[in-house]
Structure 1
């Protein structure tokens, strides 16, 4: 470094604003014996006195490319220089306002001021922007400025797109990407990532993507899916299968349907943790009209979706399992799924659970009052009355059920009745709890019987003794049996145990539960 350069730096370090301006200029441009070092240049220029701040701003705005100014957060310096009359700064500021901020009129006014000051590129750029036959005026505007060396159009548009994405500005992101594609930039890694992000943002917000070519979107989603982007695979898979992505129609994301490729992408997304894809795969594989129809795969995908917590999947899986149930274990598994769906306020699942509970007449408040009266002198009978009322038990079931053994997270299993020899009347039956009160009553009864496990057989006795105690309690307190014990024939009870017969009995709620 020359002696005079060292002296200039010494003055700058001592606080001489003029020296700081000159040293900053040389650092930014890398001229007159100074290496190019942007950080050092900005450090000097940002520490000048108030009197020379406009000059420092002009140096910054005229020495750095627009994309550098934006990346280094020097937009304030750019605006100050433009206001101070720098034509170069006015062009850059106008271009950035039009491109990034969407303030077209204000941006064009700045470029017009530069053109009026004799900036030829500004004049040509404004003319390109105002051409009525221009296919993409903004791209033509930036192309003119790029050819004049004012800016680098594609990196600048990408920078605007990145900022819009970071700020969650979908409209500006789409506008910037339209310009990038109009500049004929190839859809490669970064552009593909931004396009995929725009698709995800549009779906999440329920807003369309306007002006982006379908071919570019499809290519971008495919590139991203190959790089392990599950959301891109999910979006493209749905589009290829003809499934809308929120408000985005399939034809907005893909040029046409390709079921096999779409299914493969949906499976990739599901395997990567996109749980919603399992239910979409179920629908595609379960449609016998499609070339990819596969009932076994449809059932597998439905089970995966139910395991992931999808309410509709839990309801449909429970309904299908209940319809096919031939054993108590099958029925219990089906009720487990229906109970999970009903817990999330699924009305169809709750209707199916209701179909498994025998109805009882009378007011619940009156029944509860009767139970409390009986509880005062015979808590054993009162517990059985509560279970019978909540679970629609027959008299035989109520007298013989073991609450501790039959307790399940979803309700009650009435075990085989040891006092009845007729199989159709004594077989076990699974009954769901229709509300939290039913589960609470069952838990209380189970705890009571578990605690008194040794005493129960001796105290309650056989069926005849239990019947006699029950009759006496009802007579003493004036309780009607019809309020607590369901009337059901052996045929009705068998229909509640066997899936095919239950399906005929509950065909209307079953059809509603399985409908799409």
Structure 2
């Protein structure tokens, strides 16, 4: 995710260390007395004493006990202890727990922890919205590495924040356009939760693009039913294409019966390339007659995907009735589908797109076409001679290499 559309640099190096470390000039006896005093106060619930005791124990080399006291202090709100623990855990390879403590420190305003959290998350995923949000928060707090990393003018960020505040105030008064504007900027700033709240306001106010954008985000989180509702809302407000996307989502996620009416609508609206998908959804929903009625005209017109899917429908019907699963019509469908598929795959190869050719061949391979399985296996092995998937498709096709 870019900030104001700018391309981010590679994640910056982390700030070294975490928390506050001690340099003590005292005799061993004095240190012993200090530890005893701190322990008593820490055991009585003094958070500052817990953190100081952790530092003293670390100074003495008692790291495990130091970690226990830092943990108690961190949970009680000491951000230096949280940062110290994060540093230790991350260095020990305990990434998940280390990041949890880094978040705890960052939420408490620890600047180095805020920057480090952003840098680590962005190193794991350069499109991490959470990482971008923490990095920007560090930059806005004046962290120079974060500013350099983002490569943006902080005056521009401050101006954007002020504009967002004005638009949010308008949105709360029912201005849907202002809600959409503010949401767009907040998404760029990594403020996802508030942005989605504003997208909801904008969508409910009739902004079709806001409903569509929110649908995509909700679907990415796995809430397909809500995403479909939002696409329908976008359609009612003038944004076409929702039936197509919702139908594909539902079909690919194992809800063919729910997908059928949406795919029918999409085909009726001109998305004729979805006809094979509609036929497959009808078949998966158990309506073989409906599937054949949809697929046969497309298959006769030369659509190779419809030919594969019609072949599957005829084979399913034969299996149900005990009929012949290898008729002349079935062989004809397979032959025509294979020819159409290979012609299109060859076009992709000639255009220098071997992966796209492989994606096409995979459709035929999954349909059980031995020729497509063999071609896919050979192509994958030409790309990578050790590709296990290529070897498996060759094995399924019955071919030898």
TM-score relative to the length of structure 1: 0.30
Larger radius of gyration: 1
Structure number having the greater helix percentage: 2
